[in-house]
Amino acid sequence: MIGQWELATTERSKTCVLTLKPDAAPRGQKLELEPGCAAALPFTKDIAGWTVKGLDIVSLQSANGEAVIDFTEVESGIFEGLRQGEGVYILQNLAAARSLAKSMDQMIGDWAMVRGNGATICSLVLTNNDAGNDNFQVFVKPKCDSAIAAFAPSQWRLEHGQMMLMSDRGETWRFEADDNAQWRLVPDSANPLIMLRQ
């Protein structure tokens, strides 16, 4: 746990970099918060140290040892914590958080859906417009294949290395990146559906 971490809202609209240190503090261990933390996430001004409780709970504590927020690991290197009345916050390794932000930025823009034979069957735009629940808006351009038009994706997100397209009806299509810098619908089929950057 020692090192730099990013504390953020789930959609990463507000972030704070903190450094967990091995040095002992009056209660737990020391940490440093970047100067902008209190402005971005006001509750961080109460954080004075950190400790690990049990096997898997990372607690950011006040000077008197009370938990300001407790985090539980939800996947490797990613921790979630809840503050009543405020919502869920994410704590993750700074380098991993920054690479995720970079990969999100690389996804924004115009895409084509093509079949395995290279025929373009639909064009769409992935945006960074917030659609709620960590999703972003998708705009489908006119003249799409009937299967894509029927699916009518309206939102997208990256999750566990996959790109997910979702419809308003709750249907989800998952795409995985392949070696050719393109994304394939999974599970794969004899006539694959591929997303290509335009």
DSSP run (H or E) holding 142: none
State residue 60's pLDDT score: 97
Asked whether the whole model's pTM tops 0.85, one would answer no
Domain parsing of the chain, residue ranges: 3-101, 108-197
> For the chain, what is the mean pLDDT?
90
pLDDT at 102 over 70: no
When pLDDT is averaged across residues 116-120 and rounded to a whole number, the result is 89
Percent of the chain with pLDDT over 70: 96
Please compute Rg for the chain using Cα positions.
21
State residue 181's pLDDT score: 65
State the CATH class of domain 3-101: mainly beta
| Beta strand ranges found along the chain (DSSP E) | 3-9, 15-24, 29-33, 49-53, 57-61, 67-75, 78-83, 87-93, 109-115, 120-132, 135-140, 153-159, 162-167, 172-177, 183-186, 193-197
Pairwise pLDDT comparison (165 vs 133), residue with the higher score: 165
Amino acid at 184: R
pLDDT at 45 over 90: yes
